[in-house]
Amino acid sequence: MSDDLSSEPTAGLPPAMAGIVEDFQALPERERLQLLLEFSQGLRPLPAQYEGHLEKMERVDECQSPVFISVEVGEEQEHPVHLHVSAPAEAPTTRGFAGVLQEGLDGLPARDVLELPADVCFRLGLEQAVSPLRMRGMTGMLARVKRQVRVAVAA
């Protein structure tokens, strides 16, 4: 874990995630919510093998709505990671966080995912607009993604 204590919000982030953080930080606080909404709309539909089979996925208990994740870790040397998420339309904030993780992590080598700073969710600068309480779901989601990656790489 490389939690960077410097004040630069993009410090220690892989390029895609750093780009997302920059996009959020460039906006006034209130408008950041709209960007989160766009991420919620951009969440990819579930691959066919999970459609109707949420039991094959992991429930994210930290989220206040029924949210399920599954992490695909490639066989290739770098073990590229892809994240699949099911989150209800009635929970757009959670979907937005899921969308940020999905886009920010997509195709990253497993090692880089494991090295993502644990506070990456807080670097989006959404605590005021979303409230700190609602940030915990995203933190929980990332912790579970990392755990699945760790298990897959060890296997």
In terms of CB distance, is 84 or 95 closer to other proteins? 95
> Pick from 8, 51, 61, 72: which binds other proteins (CB under 8 A)?
61
Q: How many whole angstroms separate alpha carbon 9 and alpha carbon 117?
A: 11
Find the helix packing angle between 92-105 and 136-154, rounded to 10°.
40
In terms of CB distance, is 34 or 49 closer to other proteins? 34
Q: How many whole angstroms separate alpha carbon 35 and alpha carbon 43?
A: 13
- CA-based end-to-end distance of the chain: 21
In terms of CB distance, is 73 or 120 closer to other proteins? 120
> Pick from 53, 56, 136, 147: which binds other proteins (CB under 8 A)?
136
**Closest distance to other proteins from the beta carbon of 126 (Å):** 10
Q: In the block, which residue shows the tokens 């609602």?
A: 134
Q: Which 66-125 residues touch other proteins, going by CB under 8 A? A: 66, 89-94, 96
Does 42 participate in binding other proteins (rule CB under 8 A)?
no
φ, ψ dihedrals at 10, nearest 5°:
-95, 0
In terms of CB distance, is 67 or 113 closer to other proteins? 67
φ, ψ dihedrals at 84, nearest 5°:
-115, 135
Does 34 participate in binding other proteins (rule CB under 8 A)?
yes
Buried b (16+ CB within 10 A) or exposed e, 95-110: bbbbbbbbbbbeebbb
**Closest distance to other proteins from the beta carbon of 26 (Å):** 19
**Closest distance to other proteins from the beta carbon of 77 (Å):** 37
Binding residues for other proteins, per CB under 8 A? 33-34, 36-37, 40, 61-66, 89-94, 96, 128-131, 133-134, 136, 140
